[in-house]
Homo-oligomer: A and B are copies of this chain.
């Protein structure tokens, strides 16, 4: 599949204008663009501008409010619940994460659960905001149901990702950002486009049998929790996905389990809505609420270099630290540009026409 290169700046400018054309206030359009494009920079192509037209369609279907009144509806010194007023998750999440950071400044840690939001891009975009404050950042979200629990054939959970970002000293930060499934849905979509089979352990068919059919989700199949099957710990992946749902939706009053609203605007909303919108959960922990930042950073650098220099399997040069591949991709793409698939470029050109904008690669 052929691609075209776009500079980060051009893509940023274009995306911001699309959000502004939807009616987003300038500051929110900028914030949403930062979040969305952080996915393209970090190589998580499924969650970047490839989804921009999807967000526009949600707005057209009146499932997204372009001028939300984002409010704290309950709080204590270390916690808050935020009502996103049906805003873009790309806009609501940064506000909620900032509240978590502010509370951590005041009482050591801050924890914010969010209701009435929408898809928030990549989890890392939010958790990593804590790093410059010498805090550990945590971000998770529920999502529409694609995953069957262990022993089930029903799609009951989203891929419910978790990100934990921890600062280091002279080493780059530790950034784990993972779907709680064997493989993220974006990985499956890549195989679909390439007409390739999925490894066993990624998906099951409608009857719960193992399958390598990458298109099985359209035929009643489901993604499998991290672990794949019971013998390999799928009950652990299921429990982690469930934990994300509890923190994001049960603590906030958002929709949960199979009733989380879908991302594609053409998919009807679930008939039942036990809560409001999609739920997220954010955390910030000040390092110096536990220990001197200097001592922590010294040990964290030692920890990281210990792992990076651990004995490797044949054919592998070094052991990776969570976040390494995405950071290296970000450095590369900031310099050389972001390659977009032709299908994504066509999609963006349609948006350009729709909103009377221009899209150039330079």
Contacts and interface: CB of A to CB of B under 8 A. Distances in A.
A35 interface: no
B233 A226 contact: yes
26 contacts: A76-B109, A76-B286, A79-B108, A79-B286, A81-B291, A108-B111, A149-B319, A152-B307, A152-B312, A153-B312, A154-B310, A154-B319, A164-B246, A176-B239, A178-B239, A182-B227, A183-B232, A202-B232, A226-B236, A228-B232, A238-B322, A239-B322, A240-B240, A250-B300, A251-B296, A252-B291
Given A149-B310, A151-B318, 18 more contacts: A78-B108, A78-B109, A136-B251, A152-B307, A153-B312, A154-B319, A164-B239, A166-B243, A178-B233, A199-B232, A207-B313, A226-B236, A227-B227, A238-B322, A245-B303, A251-B290, A274-B299, A274-B302
Chain A interface, DSSP helix/strand/loop, else mixed: mixed
Interface string A187-213: 000000000000101100001100000
A245 to B, nearest CB: 7
Contacts of A154: 310-311, 319
A76 B289 contact: yes
A90 interface: no
Interface string A211-232: 0000000000000001110011
Interface stretch (A21-29, A63-71, A253-261, A352-360): A253-261
B226 A296 contact: no
Given A251-B296, A274-B302, A150 B319 contact: yes
Question: In the complex, which range does the number of interface residues on chain A fall in?
Answer: 35 or more
Interface string A277-307: 0000000011101110001100110110011
A235 interface: yes
A178 to B, nearest CB: 4
B182 A74 contact: no
Interface in A69-114: 74, 76-79, 81, 107-109, 111, 113
A165 to B, nearest CB: 10
A77 B108 contact: yes
Interface of A: 74, 76-79, 81, 107-109, 111, 113, 136, 149-154, 156, 164, 166, 174, 176, 178, 180-183, 199, 201-202, 207-208, 226-228, 231-233, 235-240, 242-243, 245-247, 249-253, 256-258, 274-275, 285-287, 289-291, 295-296, 299-300, 302-303, 306-307, 310-314, 316, 318-320, 322
Max chain B C-beta neighbours (<10 A), residue from A150, A238, A295, A307: A307
Nearest to A113: B290
A229 to B, nearest CB: 10
A201 B156 CA distance: 26
Contacts of A316: 151-152
A361 to B, nearest CB: 33
